[in-house]
Amino acid sequence: MYILVTYDVDTTDKSGQRRLRRVAKACLDYGQRVQNSVFECELTEAQFCILKEHIRDIIDTDADSVRFYHLNRNENRRVEVLGMQTAYNVDQAIII
């Protein structure tokens, strides 16, 4: 499944700044950062459940917000970018 993860973490105090870093790290484990608080992730159902629970454990649900957009896997993925391209193409091979 192809998931777009966006988040807004209240960083008015030190604990919020820590939560922000922890959410970003959790997302980096599963996807590619395309903007400061936006990640594109190619996940299995199990990976998605693990990521969601991990983020739920990190955030303050009274102050922070995380959104998961499920993009239709049956259509060709279409992304239009204005400006600098910051993501890789998840359909192409990656050589490490």
pLDDT of residue 71: 84
Looking at residue 72, its pLDDT comes to: 72
Fold designation for 2-71: Alpha-Beta Plaits (3.30.70)
- List the structure tokens of 20: 């922000």
Residues 6+ apart with CB under 8 A from 88: 32, 94
**pLDDT of the residue at 74:** 58
Characterise 64 by phi-psi region: left (phi > 0), alpha (psi -120 to 50), beta (else): beta
Rounded Cα distance, 1 and 72, in Å = 8
User: pLDDT 10s digit of each residue in the chain, 96 long?
Assistant: 889 999 999 999 999 999 999 999 999 999 999 999 999 999 999 999 999 999 999 999 999 999 999 887 655 556 666 565 655 555 555 555
Structure confidence at residue 5 (pLDDT): 94
State the pTM of this model: 0.77
Q: Where do the domains of the chain lie?
A: 2-71
Q: How far is CA 19 from CA 7, 51, 69, 70, 75, in A?
A: 11, 15, 21, 24, 34
CB atoms within 10 A of CB 16: 16
